Amino acid sequence: VIGPWGEGGDKVEFTFLEMFGRLFLATILGGIIGHERESRHHNAGLRTHMLVSVSSALIGLGSIIIFNQYKHLTTMDPLRVGAQVISGIGFLGAGAILKTGSTIKGLTTAASLWGVASIGLFVGYGLIVPTLIATIIIYISLDVVKYYTDYLFKKRSLTLIDIFAKDVIGQIGEIG
């Protein structure tokens, strides 16, 4: 089996078309997830997810290329760079999470950004089939499962009301 690092120490060369294909596929897969987020009016939408995915793919692809150029000179591990992507995306995801009063918003978007970063990274590594499966699973989790969670919310017989008001003295009394 020939993996992204070659077989038996062989140097792996990428053609322009292979590199373009991986980066383009990562952009498309990230866009699929981003489209779902955008359609639900979330701040991190189509463009954000596409950028995270293609950037992660670039880092994954670049790790392989640099590893192959310098593997005879160092004991470099190409997966370490990818591990930093997964850690670093947490900061971007944290920016998508907002706490307002007793509600927390943005957790699902943060998780989708983390998933898209993983998809992009592994497309860059050349693991196409797992990333296609992951994209389908993430999309179903975001789109189809949303109807079930909405059903559960309605079943609890709770009503959610968002009130936006100016911060002036006596406003809470007026709302009451």
What pTM, to 2 d.p., does this model score? 0.70
What angle in degrees, to the nearest 10, is found between the helix axes of 128-155 and 107-125? 170
Nearest 10 degrees: Cα torsion 71, 77, 79, 85? -110
State mean pLDDT over 101-129: 88
Q: How far is CA 134 from the centre of its chain?
A: 11
Give the pLDDT score at 1.
31
State mean pLDDT over 32-53: 88
Give the pLDDT score at 2.
39
Give the pLDDT score at 70.
79
Residues of the chain with pLDDT > 90: what percent? 30
Give the pLDDT score at 105.
84
Give the pLDDT score at 12.
64
State mean pLDDT over 161-172: 84
Res. 38: pLDDT tops 60: yes
Distance CA 148, CA 105 (A): 18
Higher local confidence (pLDDT), 151 or 53? 53
83-121: b (≥16 Cβ within 10 Å) or e: eebeeebeeebeebeeeeeeeeebebbbbbbbbbbbbbb
State mean pLDDT over 91-110: 82
